[in-house]
Amino acid sequence: MKKKFSCPECQCDIVEEVTEHVTVSYPIIQININEEDVEADYDDAINEGGELSRFQCSNCGFIIEASNLEELSKSEYMKSV
Ligand SMILES: [Zn+2]
C-alpha cells in the first residue's frame, strides 16, 4: 500500500519531517584568498544526530499529530494512492 499526504488547509501533497538538534558539518576543500575577500569551497554537508520534532505540511506548516512514520501513515491526512 502507498499513501500520500493531502493537506486539509492548502491541498499540498508534500509532508516534511522536521528534525531538531542536528549538527551540520561543511567540509572545507580549500580556502580562496583574494584582494577583497576570503571564501571557502565546501563539499556536501554532513548531518549528524537529531531528533524527530514533528511532521508538517511543506507549504503552509499545518502540523500532523504523529510521533513516528507509522503513526503518520495512519493519519487521516494520508490518502491511499
Ligand atoms: Zn498545507
CB atoms under 10 Å from CB of 26, counted, come to 11
pLDDT band for position 29 (cuts 50, 70, 90) = very high
* Segments forming the whole domain that contains residue 8: 3-80
pLDDT value, residue 68: 95
Rounded to the nearest angstrom, the distance between the alpha carbon of 44 and the centre of ligand 1 is 30
pLDDT tens per residue across span 43-56: 999 999 999 999 99
Rounded to the nearest angstrom, the distance between the alpha carbon of 43 and the centre of ligand 1 is 33
Arithmetic mean of pLDDT, 24-52: 96
For the chain, percent of residues with pLDDT exceeding 70: 100
68 DSSP β-pair partners? none
Nearest to 32 by CA among 40, 43, 24, 21: 40
Query: How many folded domains does the chain comprise?
Result: 1
- 8 A C-beta contact, residue 73 and residue 81: no
Rounded to the nearest angstrom, the distance between the alpha carbon of 65 and the centre of ligand 1 is 14
